[in-house]
Amino acid sequence: MKTSNKNLAPICLFTFNRLDETIKTVEALKKNHLALYSELYIFSDGPKNDIQKTKINEVRNYLHTIDGFKNVTIIESTINIGLANSIINGVSKVIKTHSRVIVIEDDLVTSSNFLDFMNQAIDFYKNDKNVISISGFTLPLPGLKSCNQDYYFGVRASSWGWGTWQDRWEDVDWEMKNYDKFIQQKPLRRKFREGGSDMVRMLNNQNKGKIDSWAIRFCFHQFNKGMFTVFPSKSKIYSIGFSKDATHTKSVSRFDTKLDDSDQRQFLFKLYENPDKQLLKEFRSFFSIQKRLLDKVKSIFS
């Protein structure tokens, strides 16, 4: 499937106070084959304190120097609204105009064919209502070594470089109205954990206000609708977000994946079909209690 330079999905980049990571993210994105033809919207969240204000001003000074895209629009918040609200509000604003969107945060290095993969997949699955999102990131699943396709289907959306459409985004229930009914049913909780043993715990923490995550609410909506995410068989995203200044991540190694360094620019897709059970099992294992404990141990001694 060939990428047309017309009707490309706009890119939403969400930034905060990490200048070095932001520069690496933007520089990699500029090297994408379709960067010059893509509109870039940058959302800069405001500070919580004076120390953050200084760092955010450094980031914003850099943001105003960015070129290499069709258009660059910068939206700066005077107050801190948090990542969840930034993404929900920012994506909602852009998607109303463009009907589709690609989203990245300020700690994600992209391959040069990231925008090719994302736009082709977004165009191909735009009418397939089994699919809720496209991911540019994939875990290093053992089964992908023998995968002869450019993609696979998963039950848990990824927040690391993703895309979606207006009709699916605007249908999301951010208030989780059916949470109480869900949490009382053990079979539903067990089913939800097929995306990872951490899913129910995060959903509970979101409901109690202990975390503020747009992603777990998006995944919960995906689960309720029985929808799937399309992943690349070779990752187009590598996270550099595990620094001491990271707000939502800590030092982990299980998500390390090899960035696609190929020259491939055309990708083949098929409409939704039943996911590969082995890949689903391998995906789920990356979020197992054992894997998470091992990462914690590694972080202590690293």
User: What confidence tens digit (pLDDT) does each residue in 167-199 have?
Assistant: 999 999 999 999 999 999 999 999 999 999 999
Least confident of 96-100, 111-115, 297-301: 297-301
Q: What is the pLDDT of residue 291?
A: 58
Indicate the angle between helix axes 199-208 and 214-225, nearest 10 degrees: 120
Mean pLDDT of the chain: 92
CA dihedral of 149, 40, 85, 239, whole degrees rounded to 10: 50
Q: CA nearest 240: which of 15, 11, 25?
A: 25
238: pLDDT strictly greater than 50: yes
Q: Where are the domains positioned within the chain?
A: 11-301
For 11-301, the fitting CATH number among 3.90.550.10, 3.30.10.20, 3.40.50.720, 1.10.10.10 is 3.90.550.10
Question: Distance between CA 246 and CA 17 in Å, rounded?
Answer: 9
Q: Does 293 have pLDDT greater than 70?
A: no
In single-letter form, the type of residue at position 209 comes to: G
The predicted structure's pLDDT at residue 288:
73
Q: Which residues contact 226 (CB under 8 A, 6 or more apart)?
A: 130
Task: Provide mean pLDDT across the span 84-107.
Answer: 97
pLDDT in tens, 259-281: 999 999 999 999 999 999 999 99
At 1, is the pLDDT very low, low, confident or very high (cuts 50, 70, 90)?
low
pLDDT at 10 over 90: yes
- Candidates 137, 108, 128, 116; CA nearest to 232 is 137
- pLDDT, residue 5, reads 76
Residue 298 clears pLDDT 60, i.e. is over it: no
pTM of the model: 0.92
Contact 155, 195 (CB under 8 A): yes
DSSP 260: -
